[in-house]
Amino acid sequence: MKKRKTIFSGAPRLLKVFARHRLGIVGLIALSAFIVIAVLAPVLVRFDPYTMDLEHAFVPAGSGGHLLGTDNFGRDTFSRLAYGARISLLIGIVVVTLAAVVGTILGLLSGYYGGWVDFTVMRLVEVFYSFPFLILVIAVMAILGPSIFNVMWVLGLVHWPSYARLVRGQVLSLRNIEFIQAAKTTGCSDSRIIFRHIMPNTITPIIVQATLGIPGAILSSAALGFLGFGVQQPTPEWGSMVNEGKDYILLNSDMILWPGLCIFLVVLSFNFIGDALRDTLDPRLSKQLK
């Protein structure tokens, strides 16, 4: 049986390049830890994240079996952070997927067809860029009511334009390369050319952009949570946990410290990974930077 060559046959080399980025590895380890905690949350935690125990409110970290202490209602902070990781990561991934899919499709159409399609999509992008996103999101939340689902699609709506611009630029530079012309001369239809010949060639920058976009989405959802327009109590979401903690910042700064630290670490990890990915997948860019 001969060894089959696949697109992944370049993977070992890419891994080596990636491994050279220490920060990328650090980010990957930190993020993996968060993912493990999020996935195994029900097994890992000793206390239910929703159960209040007012007698043990504001317990300091480490005492009474509470690894990171308890909040103002006596709920275990570690449990809430672990379950919060599920929500934050889910929001980050769903929002970016949504934004990337919508943005990529619109970017492909816009770049490939040009003309009025391009004009419409790009003006729409500019409208979204120039609109203060918090006001838009708050307005939508006020009308539809805050929920995880609403947070996801509204943030997705806000984030697609950057993907559309990125993909459009890629398509414009690919469109006149001869293999696209060659695909036309073999009788490929437009949709075949767009999705089979152009899209796979634009996927690398999309992956990088998406990796760097997840922390943005997490931050946005945390900001919404903090403002009280995001995921609602008692669901443990990091942003809304910071919001609850702000009332007790002088009394017990732990309540704001831990979720804040989680947001910080996850966002930083994603950024490190995204940078390392960009350098790995786009060697030209990394050479320019050095």
Partner 1 sequence: MADNLLEVKDLRTYFRTEEGVVKAVDGISFNLERGKTLGIVGESGCGKSVTSLSIMRLIPNPPGKIVSGSIVFEGKDLLTKTEKQMRGIRGNDISMIFQEPMTSLNPIMKVGTQISEAILLHQKIGTTDAKKKAIEMLTRVGIPMPEKRMDSYPHQLSGGMRQRVMIAMALSCNSKLLIADEPTTALDVTIQAQIIDLMKKMRSEFGTSIILITHDLGVVSGLADDVVVMYAGKIVEKAAVRDIFKDARHPYTIGLLQSIPRIDQEVERLQAIEGVVPNQQEMPPGCAFYPRCVRATERCRTEAPPLESFDAGKRAVACWNAVKREAITMSDTGNAPMDGGKAK
Contact residues for partner 1 (CB under 8 A)?
Answer: 4-5, 7, 115, 177-179, 181-189, 196-197, 200-201
Q: Tokens 């997948």 sit at which residue?
A: 281
Closest distance between partner 1 and the C-beta of residue 59, in Å?
Answer: 56
Residue 7 vs 135, nearer CB to partner 1:
7
DSSP 8-state secondary structure symbol assigned to residue 195: I
CA angle 228, 83, 80 (to 5 degrees): 70
**Residue 48, Cβ density class (10 Å: 0-12 exposed, 13-18 middle, ≥19 buried):** middle
For residues 39 and 64, the answer to whether their CB atoms sit within 8 Å is: no
Residue 186 vs 288, nearer CB to partner 1:
186
Closest distance between partner 1 and the C-beta of residue 192, in Å?
Answer: 8
Separation CA 148–CA 92 (nearest Å): 11
Closest distance between partner 1 and the C-beta of residue 117, in Å?
Answer: 13
Closest distance between partner 1 and the C-beta of residue 181, in Å?
Answer: 7
Q: 77-113 vs 115-130: helix axis angle to the nearest 10?
A: 150
Closest distance between partner 1 and the C-beta of residue 76, in Å?
Answer: 49
CA distances from 16 to 22, 137, 251, 272, 281 (A): 12, 42, 49, 16, 12
For residues 33 and 89, the answer to whether their CB atoms sit within 8 Å is: no
Residue type, 111: G
Closest distance between partner 1 and the C-beta of residue 121, in Å?
Answer: 18
Residue 63 vs 189, nearer CB to partner 1:
189
DSSP 8-state secondary structure symbol assigned to residue 231: S
For residues 285 and 36, the answer to whether their CB atoms sit within 8 Å is: no
Residue 55 vs 178, nearer CB to partner 1:
178
Residue 284 vs 290, nearer CB to partner 1:
284
Residue 189 vs 233, nearer CB to partner 1:
189
Separation CA 259–CA 240 (nearest Å): 9
Closest distance between partner 1 and the C-beta of residue 8, in Å?
Answer: 12
Residue type, 181: Q
The DSSP bridge partners found for residue 76 are: 70
Residue 3 vs 287, nearer CB to partner 1:
3
Could you give the count of Cα atoms lying within 13 Å of 148 in the half-sphere of its Cβ? 16
